[in-house]
């Protein structure tokens, strides 16, 4: 996976956060150079020399204190005003409680539930959006505080249980934009990645339409056996979208990654996951079913039909 740099924005919202980030970095660099420089000068110029007498006490000159205070206030103002401007530039048009968002993104320990309420599509960990269209996304948490950050596209936002907020998600060019949960939320936090996949509107519409259709019925013997096993092991007690203890698996085969970006979605990795989820993602809230190899083979065959 490639690095997703906040210095390479791909939307107006990303560009606004980039300018503010650069301003704060430059101001911070300036303060650092002045302070570290003065410390160095003082340490070298006034160092103890052999045979030198005790230095005389230093008289504080109060005029200088006014200068320090004025400089600190000036820096704060220089950050505060652009911060307010950036918050306005990236604010969702319908305010922070838009009643009809295009997307609902819900943080779970340790994966992201993604809903398209207008088309009743539910998926996980990968948000697909059409290029150029601002998507209003409501952010919620199912358990603890998480934080949504996709540096190239949108401002960073906490997901606080009980307090939904809204961000604008938009990408001006197609691509995959990586992000992550950036608020420590427990053992699985490091593998709570999210990616935004921006596609041309036609491809996006085709994807949305195919997600709305039920997957084809399994036809090979392995897949049919896998479907029975899926039923009898009650996987949907956690995975059905109405429960959402785990990610919706209706179209699992169309996803690029598994388990919050932990690994690419391949049949081999699906098998590894089913064999021992905890080994791949310590703390993951999916039980180890202690499945036999042929059961795993059948379940993988079945999950691969779900596209
Ligand atoms: Cu987290």
pLDDT per position as a tens digit, 48-86? 888 888 888 888 788 888 998 999 999 999 999 999 999
Show the low-confidence residues of the chain (pLDDT under 50).
Answer: 1
Tell me the C-alpha distance between 40 and 195, whole Å. 45
pLDDT at 1: 44
User: Any alpha helices (H) in the chain, and if so which ranges?
Assistant: 12-45, 62-90, 201-212, 221-232, 236-239, 267-275, 277-280, 293-305
What superfamily in CATH does domain 1-47+61-211 come from? Cupredoxins -  blue copper proteins (2.60.40.420)
CA–CA distance, 143 with 298 (Å, rounded to integer): 33
Task: Give me the pLDDT at residue 167, please.
Answer: 94
CA of 255 from ligand 1 middle (Å) equals 21
**140, β-bridge pairs:** 106
The DSSP-derived string for 91-126 is S-TT-TT-SS-SEEEEEETTEEEEEETTTTEEEESE
| Length reported for the chain | 307
The class of domain 221-305 in CATH terms is mainly beta
Domains 1-47+61-211 and 221-305 share a fold: yes
pTM over 0.75: yes
Residue pair 79/88 in contact by the 8 Å Cβ criterion: no
Q: What angle do CA 58, 63, 68 make, to 5 degrees?
A: 95
265 contacts: CB under 8 Å, gap ≥ 6:
252, 253, 255, 256, 257, 258
Cβ(6)–Cβ(14) under 8 Å?
yes
Query: What's the 145 CA to ligand 1 centre distance in angstroms?
Result: 7
First to last CA, the chain: 23
Tell me the two tokens of residue 48.
């103890």
CA of 112 to the centre of ligand 1 (A): 10
Report the separation in Å between the CA atom of 168 and the middle of ligand 1, taken as the mean of its atom positions. Answer: 20
Residue 52 CA to residue 198 CA, distance in Å, equals 70
CB under 5 Å of ion ligand 1: residues: 146, 181, 185, 189, 192
The residue extents of the domains of the chain are: 1-47+61-211, 221-305
Whole-angstrom CA distances from 101 to 82, 97, 117 are 27, 9, 8
The pLDDT of residue 206 = 96
Rounded to the nearest angstrom, the distance between the alpha carbon of 93 and the centre of ligand 1 is: 27
Q: How far is the CA of 282 from the centre of ligand 1 (A)?
A: 14
What's the pLDDT at 96? 74
């Amino acid at each position: 996976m490639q690095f997703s740099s906040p210095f390479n924005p791909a939307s107006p919202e990303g560009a606004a956060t980039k300018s503010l980030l650069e301003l704060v970095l430059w101001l911070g660099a300036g303060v650092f150079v002045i302070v570290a420089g003065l410390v160095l000068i003082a340490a070298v110029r006034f160092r103890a020399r052999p045979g030198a007498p005790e230095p005389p006490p230093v008289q504080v000159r109060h005029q200088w204190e006014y200068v320090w205070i004025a400089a600190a206030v000036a820096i704060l103002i220089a950050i505060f005003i652009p911060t307010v401007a950036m918050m306005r530039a990236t604010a969702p048009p319908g305010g922070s409680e838009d009643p009809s968002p295009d997307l609902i993104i819900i943080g779970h320990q340790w994966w992201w539930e993604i809903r398209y309420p207008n088309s009743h599509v539910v998926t996980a960990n990968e948000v697909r959006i059409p290029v150029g269209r601002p998507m209003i996304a409501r952010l919620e948490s199912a358990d603890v505080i998480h934080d949504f950050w996709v540096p190239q596209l949108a401002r960073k936002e906490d997901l606080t249980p009980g307090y939904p907020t809204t961000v604008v998600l938009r990408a001006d060019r197609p691509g995959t934009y990586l992000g992550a949960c950036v608020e420590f939320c427990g053992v699985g936090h490091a593998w709570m990645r999210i990616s935004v996949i921006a596609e041309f509107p036609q491809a996006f519409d085709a994807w949305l339409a195919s997600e709305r259709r039920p997957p084809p019925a399994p036809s090979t013997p392995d897949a049919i056996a896998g479907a029975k096993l899926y039923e009898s092991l009650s996987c949907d007690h956690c995975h059905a979208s109405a429960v959402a203890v785990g990610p919706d698996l209706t179209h699992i085969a169309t996803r690029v990654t598994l388990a919050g970006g932990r690994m690419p979605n391949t049949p081999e990795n699906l098998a590894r996951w089913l064999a021992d989820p905890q080994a791949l993602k310590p703390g993951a809230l999916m039980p180890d079913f202690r499945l036999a190899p042929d059961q795993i083979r059948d379940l993988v065959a079945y999950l691969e039909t779900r596209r």
